[in-house]
Amino acid sequence: MTNYQVRQAAHPDDVKHYDTTKLRERFLFQNVMQPDHVNMIYSLYDRVIAGGAVPVNKPLPLEAIDPLKADYFLERREIGIVNIGGKGKISVDGTDYELDYKESLYLGKSNKDVQFHSLDAQKPAHFYFVSTPAHRVCPNKKITLADAEIVKLGSLEASNSRTINKLIVNSNVETCQLQLGMTELHPGSVWNTMPAHVHDRRMEWYFYFEVPQDQAICHFMGEPNETRNLWMHNEEAVVSPNWSIHAAAGTSNYTFIWGMGGENLNYGDVDASAVTDLK
């Protein structure tokens, strides 16, 4: 079964007046992973879609949702997929790609038949995906952690020692506009991403996982001089507008997947804010 929501874009002046309930309604994505469901949110920030698929008793198709007005999901789109569960397989127009834990797959425009499979129903795959509009066909590619561009940043002293795995970026995977990666916080570290920043030319989805059941994430968003927070839990996502910072502190270390789409493919194209300037 496929479920979807459409989320409208919000002006930052309006968001200043949101209470906690409205902030969560407009930006938080809960119940991303549900057995035998494909759940997704179609955000009108750069028309980027984020979602999850958990095939247990049967394969799950990646279906075109009505707002796309397309014959199939990837008719005018590309997608990046990361498996954060048991071993799985994605069938793409008759070609199978097996994905183990934290392995990813890029699929370009014009792939028609995409099916999500778990190899063991007792340990089902959890597929998280981010999809952006695409104007041309780029080759499909599987990416493991060994294939990723790896950057180590931060320090234990600053509580933000972390490994950034650039999985689907323009320097190692040809895409139209999608960029996707995974940041792993090391034990004893809880902060991402400092210094906080915005990027007017791209929006972003954050998806938090490896959050222990009795722990939580406090995600910070908003303009640098007008921040807000959302409390989040394991396998939940949050949309980050181009005008918003995207940072968090957890009650334990955790991992998150970032997916971006917008004007350019320059990963370093950000406008940073000093920690002392945040309000």
Tokens of 194: 């400092």
pLDDT in the model for residue 81: 98
Q: Would you place residue 265 in the very low, low, confident or very high pLDDT band (cuts 50, 70, 90)?
A: confident
| Cα distance between residue 115 and residue 223, in whole Å | 39
Share of the chain above pLDDT 70, in %: 100
Residues in the chain: 279
Average pLDDT over residues 101-128: 98
pLDDT at 7 over 90: yes
Instruction: Please name the residue that has the structure tokens 């007046």.
Output: 17
pLDDT at 22 over 90: yes
Tokens of 272: 């940073």
pLDDT at 8 over 90: yes
User: What b/e sequence results for 243-262 when a residue is b if at least 16 CB atoms lie within 10 Å of its CB, and e otherwise?
Assistant: bbbbbbbbebbbbbbbbbbb
Q: What is the DSSP letter of 54?
A: B
| Cα distance between residue 164 and residue 53, in whole Å | 24
Average pLDDT over residues 165-183: 96
Average pLDDT over residues 200-227: 96
Average pLDDT over residues 76-94: 98
CB-count exposure of residue 25 (10 Å: 0-12, 13-18, 19+): exposed
Model confidence, pTM: 0.97
pLDDT at 195 over 90: no
| Cα distance between residue 37 and residue 34, in whole Å | 6
